[in-house]
């Protein structure tokens, strides 16, 4: 015979609870205690912690770290990456589906739709759809957290400019294998050679300023957005004002 019993209030608070059952029949005979069931009640909302644009991974990787496991809901469907100067979005079709490392509570997205997996040069803002990201108990992050980063081919020193500093880094690693982006392997084939020199030469003198981007056209987001988030919310997150042609914040 199977019974369904509502858990008593004492077991509904946050934390780990052990539940066991004992029954008494009409004659007063009491059963032994059942085997136990452990229940974890989680009422703590997960949070977005930090972001990292990892140029030194084997392929460029955007890593987003959360306060706990949100893996089952993490993926490219819960983020939008926008070029802050042009308002262009990184197409979802160019992004990996996303993976999640439970021990570090970190989700990773890569960009296999681009040659060598490297994003076009630009200053990017990641919009994280917090209402769609939940922990295992279903608690959502909520809101629209953001993470800003930049991509600049040839900028081995990661100072937002392609200069002789970067050339010297490349020269110091020239001809060597097992190298990373910050060692001059801008083509992500592990080797520093003329291919990387040509990438650097093509961007020599280019820089991405820290200042506010130039005025842009009114919001023209073209990709379908999760319905929880309107274009105006996304636009306010980008520049603090709804659907206008204002300046993006620094």
Q: Which of residues 125-144 bind Ca ion (CB under 5 A)?
A: none
Candidates 94-102, 123-131, 192-200, 222-230; binding stretch for Ca ion (CB under 5 A): 192-200
Secondary structure, 3-state, 146-213: EEEEEECCCCCCCCCECCHHHHHHHHHHCCCCCCCHHHCCCCCCCCCCHHHHHHHHHHCCCECCCCCC
Residue 235 engages Ca ion in binding (rule: CB under 5 A):
no
Residues forming a β-bridge with 161: 207
| Encoded tokens for 88 | 């262009």
Residue 239 engages Ca ion in binding (rule: CB under 5 A):
no
* Choice from 84, 119, 127, 185 touching Ca ion (CB under 5 A): 185
Distance CA 229, CA 242 (A): 12
* Choice from 135, 155, 235, 239 touching Ca ion (CB under 5 A): 155
| Encoded tokens for 52 | 């990292």
Candidates 30-38, 66-74, 142-150, 151-159; binding stretch for Ca ion (CB under 5 A): 151-159
| Encoded tokens for 167 | 């050339």
Candidates 11-19, 31-39, 42-50, 188-196; binding stretch for Ca ion (CB under 5 A): 188-196
Residue 187 engages Ca ion in binding (rule: CB under 5 A):
yes
Residue numbers at the binding site for Ca ion (CB under 5 A): 155, 157, 159, 161, 166, 185, 187, 189, 191, 196
């Amino acid at each position: 015979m199977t019974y369904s019993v509502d858990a008593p209030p004492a077991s509904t608070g946050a934390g780990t609870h052990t539940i066991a059952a004992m029954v008494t029949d009409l004659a007063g005979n009491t059963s032994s205690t059942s085997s136990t069931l452990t229940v974890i009640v989680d009422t703590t909302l997960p949070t977005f912690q930090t972001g990292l644009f990892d140029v030194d991974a084997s392929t460029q990787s955007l890593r987003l770290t959360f306060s706990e496991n949100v893996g089952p809901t993490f993926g490219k469907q819960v983020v939008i990456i926008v070029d802050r100067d042009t308002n262009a979005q990184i197409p979802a079709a160019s992004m990996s589906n996303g993976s999640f490392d439970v021990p570090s509570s970190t989700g990773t997205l890569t960009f296999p739709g681009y040659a060598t997996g490297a994003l076009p040069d630009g200053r990017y803002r990641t919009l994280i759809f917090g209402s769609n990201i939940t922990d295992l108990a279903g608690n959502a992050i909520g809101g629209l957290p953001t993470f800003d980063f930049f991509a600049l081919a040839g900028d081995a020193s990661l100072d937002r400019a392609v200069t002789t500093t970067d050339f010297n880094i490349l020269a110091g690693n020239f001809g060597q294998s097992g190298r990373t982006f910050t060692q001059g392997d801008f083509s992500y084939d592990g080797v520093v050679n003329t291919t990387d020199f040509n990438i650097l030469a093509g961007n020599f003198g280019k820089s991405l300023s820290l200042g506010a981007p130039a005025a842009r056209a009114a919001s023209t987001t073209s990709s379908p957005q999760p319905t929880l988030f309107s274009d105006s919310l996304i636009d306010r997150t980008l520049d603090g004002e709804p659907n206008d042609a204002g300046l993006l914040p620094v």
